[in-house]
């Protein structure tokens, strides 16, 4: 089946340092999956951070960016300079439209702690 593997947390980074959270996927049943990063702040539900529908394209939001690389089946999340408010759990996911509306397959989540 389809699967997503991402950096195992927790990850601790000092404020203003750079960040990369790795994400690789295996899409055995989907020819062209859509790729997503969701974020879960403490006490809140998951919310969409960014998405990329087309291979080779880059998505960006709130200073984060990720490039959909079909050759390496990767979708790494990067930020040049993190802030304390970025402390959260980040989930990589692949998705496809189908009978169930939109099926998402999630990674395990990466907990990020930013030291002030």
Which residues share a beta bridge with 92? 37
Helix (H, G, I), strand (E, B) or coil at 80: coil
Tell which one of 15, 60, 69, 106 touches other proteins (CB under 8 A): 106
Is the distance from CB of 7 to CB of 111 less than 8 angstroms?
no
Among residues 4, 13, 66, 114, the one that binds other proteins under rule CB under 8 A: 4
Cβ closer to other proteins: 53 or 80?
A: 53
DSSP 9: S
Q: Which is nearer to other proteins, 38 or 64 (CB)?
A: 38
| Cα–Cα dist 57/20, whole Å | 18
DSSP assignments along 72-89, one per residue: TTB--EEESS--GGG-EE
Q: Does 48 bind other proteins (CB under 8 A)?
A: yes
- If one asks whether residue 73 binds other proteins (CB under 8 A), the answer comes out as no
The widest CA-to-CA distance across the chain, in whole angstroms, is 45
Sign of CA dihedral 64, 70, 71, 74: positive
Choice from 20, 53, 80, 113 touching other proteins (CB under 8 A): 53
Q: Which stretch binds other proteins (CB under 8 A): 9-17, 22-30, 73-81, 103-111?
A: 103-111
**In the complex, which residues of this chain contact other proteins (CB under 8 A)?**
4, 34, 38, 40, 43-48, 51, 53, 91, 93, 95, 97, 99-109
């Amino acid at each position: 089946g389809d699967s997503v593997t991402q950096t195992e947390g927790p990850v601790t980074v000092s404020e203003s340092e750079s960040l990369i959270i790795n994400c690789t996927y295996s899409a055995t049943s989907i020819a062209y999956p859509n790729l997503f990063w969701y974020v879960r702040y403490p006490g809140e539900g998951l919310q969409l951070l960014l998405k990329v529908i087309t291979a080779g394209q880059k998505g960006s939001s709130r200073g984060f960016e990720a490039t959909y690389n079909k050759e390496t089946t990767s979708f790494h999340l990067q930020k040049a300079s993190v802030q304390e408010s970025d402390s959260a759990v980040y989930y990589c996911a692949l998705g496809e439209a189908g009978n169930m509306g939109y099926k998402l397959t999630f990674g395990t989540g990466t907990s990020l702690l930013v030291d002030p």
